[in-house]
């Protein structure tokens, strides 16, 4: 049985032609024996970690000597990716960048996402390569860029590099790439879950990845404190149905009180986002030193990257963040006021006069996603 115009899986798996030039250019910088530092953004997520581990395996097999050097500690949730052969030198800080031949930064569109490594990376004279799927910032980490916002995850682009280079996808590579795709699509649920994303995931399953084991490792290995933190966050839930917004807040110190780290906050903001009719969900986390981290999530057409940029942050159209100076209630009031203006009155509210939504443009300040 066939349907005219139906896609076939081979077409879905094929590397998009628009990426091949950038991939070949990146590959042209790689040479046997090179010492390569791999880095990703502060509070690395499953895509950053998965992309780094996949590249570690691939580059090692290709005769290079990769090491991972991140601005913040390796998240314990992704310890399972660090099998034998992965060199993780984050604890050495910028010293681990002093004797390299090449830097390869993943899942970052702006150098400032490298946190404490930023200034050192700016000053590096070795080639700096970037593989990313964010909206590009105004200061990319390096000049040699493979960037495509249509990629569901940076891991998709790593897959493309491997296929284009003719590198074998080992079990370790497949596990790491599956983690990248799984986490960046929220378990294959977000709008970036493209047909190609599923096709690549299918390819990785065919290589022997066990989806239930991956689910258990990524989503069912939660420390008890994480659930207690969620309970506390949900106690603060507020909803503005006229603007189709919902938000939760975390006071200074609660994350630490439960023995958790920033990485454990992943997914909290999905709860306000899951309320029927919500177009914009926010998480406010008081960091306790005069700064509040704001996470923005959208369902539908609210471009939270543009909203976050009003506060010096950025990210994707549907997921973004910003670090805002001030106390929790002050920042919350300020951000909510801007958010209400930005989304306008939700059209689903029968009380609304439905003014033109969101179109207004505020000057975009330099983007630094926290």
Q: Does 132 help bind Mn ion (rule: CB under 5 A)?
A: no
Burial 54-71 (b: 16+ CB within 10 A, else e): bbbbbbbebebebbbbbb
Q: Which is nearer to Mn ion, 157 or 343 (CB)?
A: 157
**Rounded distance between C-alpha atoms, residue 136 and residue 145, angstroms:** 10
Q: Where are the beta strands (DSSP E) in the chain?
A: 35-39, 65-68, 102-106, 128-132, 144-147, 238-240, 245-250, 280-286, 291-298, 314-315, 319-325
Smallest gap from Cβ 47 to Mn ion, in A, equals 3
Q: Which is nearer to Mn ion, 249 or 367 (CB)?
A: 367
Query: How many residues touch Mn ion (CB under 5 A)?
Result: 4
**Rounded distance between C-alpha atoms, residue 82 and residue 90, angstroms:** 13
Q: Which residue has the tokens 């910088």?
A: 29
Touching Mn ion, residues 84-123 (CB under 5 A) = 107
**Rounded distance between C-alpha atoms, residue 245 and residue 91, angstroms:** 40
Smallest gap from Cβ 326 to Mn ion, in A, equals 28
Touching Mn ion, residues 20-79 (CB under 5 A) = 47
Smallest gap from Cβ 151 to Mn ion, in A, equals 8
Residue partners of 193: CB distance under 8 A and separation at least 6:
152, 185
Smallest gap from Cβ 264 to Mn ion, in A, equals 18
Q: Which is nearer to Mn ion, 178 or 342 (CB)?
A: 178
Q: Which is nearer to Mn ion, 184 or 286 (CB)?
A: 184
**Site map (CB under 5 A) of Mn ion, residues 133-162, x = contact:** ---------------------x--------
Smallest gap from Cβ 107 to Mn ion, in A, equals 4
Output the six-digit token pair for 14: 């094929």
Touching Mn ion, residues 172-211 (CB under 5 A) = 184
User: Alpha carbon 165 to chain centroid distance?
Assistant: 25
Q: Which is nearer to Mn ion, 135 or 339 (CB)?
A: 135
Interface residues with Mn ion (CB under 5 A) are 47, 107, 154, 184
């Amino acid at each position: 049985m066939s349907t005219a115009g139906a896609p076939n899986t081979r077409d879905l798996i094929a590397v998009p032609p628009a990426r091949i030039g950038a991939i070949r250019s990146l590959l042209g910088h790689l040479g046997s024996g090179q010492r390569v530092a791999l880095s990703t953004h502060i509070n690395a997520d499953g895509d950053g970690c998965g992309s780094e581990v996949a590249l570690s395996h691939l580059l090692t097999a290709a005769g290079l000597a990769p090491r991972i050097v991140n601005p913040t500690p390796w998240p314990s949730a992704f310890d399972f990716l660090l099998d034998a052969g992965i060199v993780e030198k984050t604890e050495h800080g910028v010293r681990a960048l002093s004797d390299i031949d090449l830097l390869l930064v993943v899942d970052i569109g702006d150098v400032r996402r490298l946190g404490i490594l930023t200034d050192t990376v700016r000053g590096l004279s070795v080639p700096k390569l970037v593989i990313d799927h964010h909206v590009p910032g105004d200061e990319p980490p390096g000049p040699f860029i493979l960037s495509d916002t249509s990629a569901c995850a940076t891991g998709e682009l790593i897959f493309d590099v491997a296929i284009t280079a003719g590198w074998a996808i080992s079990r370790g590579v497949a596990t790491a790439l599956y983690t990248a795709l799984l986490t960046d699509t929220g378990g294959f649920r977000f709008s970036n879950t493209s047909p190609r994303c599923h096709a690549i995931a299918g390819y990785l399953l065919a290589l022997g990845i066990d989806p239930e084991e991956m689910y258990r490792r990524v989503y069912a290995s939660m420390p008890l404190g994480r659930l207690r933190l969620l309970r506390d966050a949900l106690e603060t839930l507020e909803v503005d149905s006229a603007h189709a917004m919902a938000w939760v807040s975390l006071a200074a110190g609660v994350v630490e009180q439960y023995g958790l780290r920033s990485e454990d906050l992943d997914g909290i903001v999905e709860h306000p986002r899951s309320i029927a009719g919500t177009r914009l969900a926010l998480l406010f986390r008081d960091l306790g030193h005069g700064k509040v981290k704001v996470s923005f999530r959208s369902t539908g057409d609210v471009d939270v990257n543009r909203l976050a940029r009003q506060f010096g942050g950025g990210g994707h159209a549907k997921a973004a963040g910003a670090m805002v100076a001030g106390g929790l209630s002050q920042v919350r009031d300020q951000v909510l006021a801007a958010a209400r203006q930005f989304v306008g009155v939700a059209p689903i509210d029968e009380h609304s006069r439905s003014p033109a939504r969101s179109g207004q443009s505020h000057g975009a300040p330099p983007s630094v996603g926290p």
